[in-house]
Chains A and B, each alone.
Chain A
């Protein structure tokens, strides 16, 4: 029988791991990147920014997002949906494996592993429910094949339960830089409450985080343009990427789509300028907002850190039909750092950062009102503005808050979800006034105006065709979820 035992030297089984090491830690680590890959590749920005008018694009699949007319065949939609469910599935796998060996694990390890599983699952669901509305709840234990969709309220309830567990059981401090903690879970939970209009709960959680272990970093741009600054003090939950020439699926691909087409900034064949900052977004920045140059490249902007071997890069508006390109998430070429390859960088994708907690706090204090002069709201809000080099304010209005968020989080996949919190009427009115056109001439002066008026279904993207093909039950009406 030895003859028929064919252990491979490459394929490890759980029993092959050295004493004292479980696969769980490794699996838990992969939860920070592997299943999120396709979500990060296009979906996050397409839904979070382009769909809400931050980005102009001429590419068809994207353009459906720009035009707020996304069909269920849209491949970007499919990728995101599948990717998010694979996060859920991986989380469920992790938790069931951990449960199986509960007896062998120290209680703290057990709790924090389950905590990670639930944290990741909740994050995936949070994106799913906000993007698609009702989706099936899959808890890995009781789920039937071909599950039906569950009610939106139940999905939110499920998310909250997961996050409450995580906020209770994750460690206080990260064992490795980038690991999530109790405070991070509270931060995400705060956003869930905020999304649901539960302002007091949100404010309570943000108060617990503010002044704790996380803080703003000085240079706003460092959050996005330098993998060496990954997991800074401001970064609370980030998808962790690593770029390896011969491995696909562990890296951040964003730079490939962002870099101005033909600029040579990546040093490789990528850099397609698929995402162009909409004119509306460009106009959103106040004068002297130091975030702008770190977010958007405009005519004449000089970046010594890009194309460094040629002495730097001066942006020219002719590179873009909207006279500007994005700067966020560009890290450069192999000449600047040795881990840049075709469609590969190691730049983390930040899902939650401290600035968001501050602005969430202000938003919670606003509590749906049109303005506030609550000192803690103002302090939080002004802290963000001061870093941006902008004057502080003594009264905060609703408009100002959302304007601030748009400038702060442009290209971070937040704007659509911010609009969603404002309700459909307000969102439609905001969007329909945004200029998302382009310039038809070389001088970038002749504006071809495009304004998008979304339909009433705007807040719920269609369930991808490909998911329906696999699971026709998704076409049925959502059902309550059995929480027992």
Chain B
């Protein structure tokens, strides 16, 4: 209400202004050099001009109190009151902030104020100097509707980026486009799968962007709604992240050195029993089994605390980054080149990541009509992984291994499980020893970039041709040596190597016609074509035997008898036509329409082509006459858009029957059906509607962007559901189902203070969405999310429910006495006093599968972030808070560490203190922990709400204090700019979650396994100090 009153008051005041006109002239320079082509506009009008080749401008009929607005791509927009009489000398400066004003929209750029779609932008400044391994990580908390979670703390490990919730069940990662070249996550981003040497695979999916040097990023534009992403057609469904790397700017060459170094540490530890507690727990189990109590457990109070395995596997780990760049240019040619080195040890022993990167970006105006350019990144990264996110993973082992087992015996040798001491099997042997002796590295070399040529036929009509490429060369080397750890002995040394190459290219040709008619009709028309192709091939080999030592792991050193090899290759291709028209009228109205047609080799001839249209419009109310005098309203714009995009995130060639060759005991290979072809499969499609508002008041000191959207993704490619009628459903894809997502997101930026020596800006971001599978395969069929060799079904995705709904039994306290037990409901044959009572949801007095219900969901009620930037004189303080509310977590690790689910080899495993608080008749009845058993005859460990925890959190994501050495101190010295800073990332997390870290993401980016904690590698706290120097 107050708001409207204020608007009304100011509206009236505006009419009181006096008008008087004169001419103004001047010159615009940067670093002493004139800048041609600067837009000079009289604020509040559409009147303006541009500077000439020498930077001069002249404007007539300028009113007395006019303010001139100087804008130029890459430079900070200036608002200067008009000066009359003498020439104005205007000095413009570089400012990353201003890049926000031009938004990369794919196949072109657009002024922010002309946008019709929902696009968030992140500038280099907002993410700079923070110790992120890969660019996707840096998006945490930076943009509304963009939810970023780190799937694993493994350096270089996987990230889940979800733009506006869940669109598909096949993968929700957005398309990343770097300087026009898409980087598909299916290329080259899997690390070694430990399952090859036995046990579970662990999480193997890595960030596709880990090879890129984050310091090279100039800006990131995130296309969120279909009207914005339609230009990417079949790849646009999950949103598109457009990454623009730094370009040189005209003027004197700038040499910059940026570096930071820091230390990472694991901050949370899960409470498991120490040795005295473990002895008490084991004593209870032994008593249950009627076994004698060993000597060492008889006096638990005298025992040492035993091995704290978590402290043993985690370590403070250094991180450092260095980058040297040189950039510059003249009127015709701009260049940027950089060399980066990044090195990160993991907080879990024997993990790490390092990267060398080189970038060369050049563009040059050859003559008045031809411009050519080149962006190239060459990088090489080396990742060392330890098995994680698996029952056999290092972190899970550290939780489960007995405190009775030392890391090393007194003679210094690694300890191993002895008879009845320590949890045996290959899994929890000795997490430190296993992590130390097994080596798995993934080396990636990537050449990524594009070259382009742009011809201007005549004013407004340009033709651009771009050849993008992404060449990847991967090398996986893993060596698992023989060892002797107590009762666990491995006599074979095993070595596995894989080399792989992928070749991706895309060729784009498009004509752009951009013209302003009658000074008020702005038209941009684009017509073009794109073709792309990806090929990959791998070759791998294995040998076991007597390798000399860890330094001689080449396969040739192994036994020829054990030699195995593998080879595979594949290809996909796509051809597309695109067109788009943007029409603007008087900076008031913008209409945009686009259509793209894609044909992909992923689909059969029946449904190869997909068509993806969009329309959108924007109306800048603040430029309307009826509001033009309302000066306190700097900007008010409404946007609406509707579009259709596709998703082709499925394995290739599913339209035809595919055989795979399985080694046959009868000799040779047996062809077996890997996929039953469905010739009719077609594009998943996403239709989305977006309604947005951009507003700025008080000279844009307070800015707001809000968007409401409805997304309907339909026909998604799903495997036919597994039920008895079809156990091999992984072999058959159909288009089925509809997911409806509705969401709202808000970004509010407030310039709280902007005085000469104090500046305070606050940005608040809020996002929420609901998600529902409105239709699926029919007959009430569900898609199940399973873990641990598919033995446990944790989520159910079914009609009328959100995707990835946790589904299971509802607990109802314990049976506390015989009377309660008799009252039922009837559970299992072995149910006894002290067991969990489950709710009889259908009131038939029997607990069975019908008594399951939705018990939680990983989808948050809302997510938010709050960024505060303070500047005081030369100091700056940035604080980023980020949080999530109402997201549930299925804490699967507790199945193993609560001491209630007996599983393979769990008899001697460690547990949480909950197990000591178990119900014991007449001894410990005031508890909610079920009785201890050796077999869990009641199924206390079944999937139930017992393991669902509130994953809400508020995280102090980043605190950075920096000091910019003032120019007066630098003087005319060597440095032109110097800045030092200290930052802490992931400083603290407020949460009630009992696991390591509530920000979980999806296991291997699988949306049906969202929010499930399987003993993941937690994300560390990183404290760092850094320096930026320019000279």
Contacts and interface: CB of A to CB of B under 8 A. Distances in A.
Complex A–B touching at CB under 8 A: yes
Contact of B542 (A78, A86, A245): A245
Interface string B525-561: 0000001010000001010100000000000000101
B666 A176 contact: yes
Interface in B468-508: 486-492, 494, 496
A3 B529 CA distance: 15
Interface in A123-164: 135-136, 138, 143-147
Contacts of B486: 262
B907 A246 contact: no
B624 to A, nearest CB: 49
B942 A262 contact: no
Interface string A414-445: 00000000000000000000000000110000
SS class of chain A's interface: helix, strand, loop or mixed? loop
Contacts of B935: 60, 63-64, 66-67, 69
Contacts of B672: 23, 26-27, 30, 34
Interface stretch (B156-164, B380-388, B563-571, B587-595): B563-571
A333 B482 CA distance: 14
A13 B903 CA distance: 41
Kindly name the residue among B198, B572, B943 whose own CB sees the greatest number of chain A CB atoms within 10 A.
B198
B489 A73 contact: no
A269 B429 contact: yes
A267 B533 CA distance: 47
B424 interface: yes
A248 B195 contact: yes
26 contacts: A5-B601, A6-B570, A7-B653, A12-B671, A13-B659, A26-B672, A35-B728, A59-B902, A60-B903, A60-B935, A61-B904, A67-B937, A69-B828, A71-B939, A72-B939, A73-B942, A75-B903, A178-B665, A247-B662, A268-B492, A269-B488, A270-B198, A270-B426, A338-B559, A448-B291, A470-B723
SS class of chain B's interface: helix, strand, loop or mixed? loop
Contact of A89 (B562, B669, B728): B728
Interface size of B as a range:
35 or more
A26 B599 CA distance: 34
A404 to B, nearest CB: 31
Contacts of B781: 145-146, 470
Contacts of B830: 67, 69, 71
Nearest to A178: B666
B727 interface: yes
A13 B657 contact: yes
A9 B780 CA distance: 39
B600 interface: yes
Contacts of B850: 472, 475
A63 B599 CA distance: 56
Contacts of B777: 145
Interface string A447-473: 010000001010000000111111110
Interface string B233-256: 000000000000000000000000
Given A264-B489, A333-B491, A342-B426, A250 B941 contact: no
B664 A26 contact: yes
B652 interface: yes
Interface stretch (A236-244, A291-299, A391-399): A236-244
A8 B652 contact: yes
Given A145-B721, A475-B850, A73 B902 contact: no
Given A60-B901, A240-B666, A13 B658 contact: yes
Kindly name the residue among A6, A8, A179 whose own CB sees the greatest number of chain B CB atoms within 10 A.
A6
Contact of A23 (B659, B779, B938): B659
A304 B66 CA distance: 103
Nearest to A65: B935
Nearest 3 interchain pairs by C-beta? A60-B902, A262-B487, A468-B849
Interface stretch (B343-351, B789-797, B1009-1017): B789-797
A415 B934 CA distance: 24
B587 to A, nearest CB: 43
B725 A136 contact: yes
Given A29-B666, A35-B727, A269-B490, 15 more contacts: A5-B601, A27-B670, A60-B935, A72-B848, A72-B849, A75-B789, A93-B728, A145-B721, A176-B666, A179-B666, A242-B664, A267-B492, A269-B489, A470-B781, A471-B724
Interface string A363-392: 000000000000000000000000000000
Nearest to A81: B724
Given A6-B572, A342-B426, A472-B849, A144 B725 contact: yes
Interface string A240-263: 111011111010000000000110
A93 B659 CA distance: 13
Contacts of B544: 245, 334, 341
Kindly name the residue among B652, B725, B781 whose own CB sees the greatest number of chain A CB atoms within 10 A.
B725
Interface in B863-877: none
A143 B720 CA distance: 14
Nearest to B723: A471
Contacts of A470: 721-723, 781-782, 784
B903 A61 contact: yes
Contacts of A176: 666-667
Interface size of A as a range:
35 or more
Kindly name the residue among B490, B673, B780, B791 whose own CB sees the greatest number of chain A CB atoms within 10 A.
B791
B845 interface: no
A39 to B, nearest CB: 12
A6 B426 contact: no
A169 interface: no
Kindly name the residue among A67, A177, A468, A469 whose own CB sees the greatest number of chain B CB atoms within 10 A.
A469
B14 interface: no
A5 B540 CA distance: 26
Given A6-B601, A23-B659, A71-B942, A58 B492 contact: no
B676 interface: yes
Interface string B263-305: 0000000000000000000000000011110000000000000
A400 B943 CA distance: 45
A378 to B, nearest CB: 37
Contact of B671 (A10, A26, A78, A245): A26
Given A88-B727, A272-B905, A457-B829, A8 B665 contact: no
Nearest to A27: B672
Nearest to B541: A246
Nearest to B722: A470
A350 interface: no
Interface string B769-785: 00000000111111010
B573 A6 contact: yes
Kindly name the residue among B491, B571, B784, B935 whose own CB sees the greatest number of chain A CB atoms within 10 A.
B935
Nearest to B904: A59
Contacts of B490: 267-269, 342
Contacts of A472: 780, 849-850
Contacts of B861: none
Interface string A326-348: 00000001110010011100101
A242 B667 CA distance: 9
B852 interface: yes
Interface string A88-105: 111001000100000000
A33 interface: yes
A444 to B, nearest CB: 13
Contacts of A144: 725, 779
B673 A23 contact: yes
Interface in A299-356: 333-335, 338, 341-343, 346, 348
Kindly name the residue among B533, B658, B782 whose own CB sees the greatest number of chain A CB atoms within 10 A.
B658
Contacts of B653: 6-8, 11
B533 to A, nearest CB: 7
A81 to B, nearest CB: 9
A240 B665 contact: yes
B723 A13 contact: no
Given A32-B665, A246-B196, A338 B289 contact: no
Interface in B938-996: 938-939, 941-943
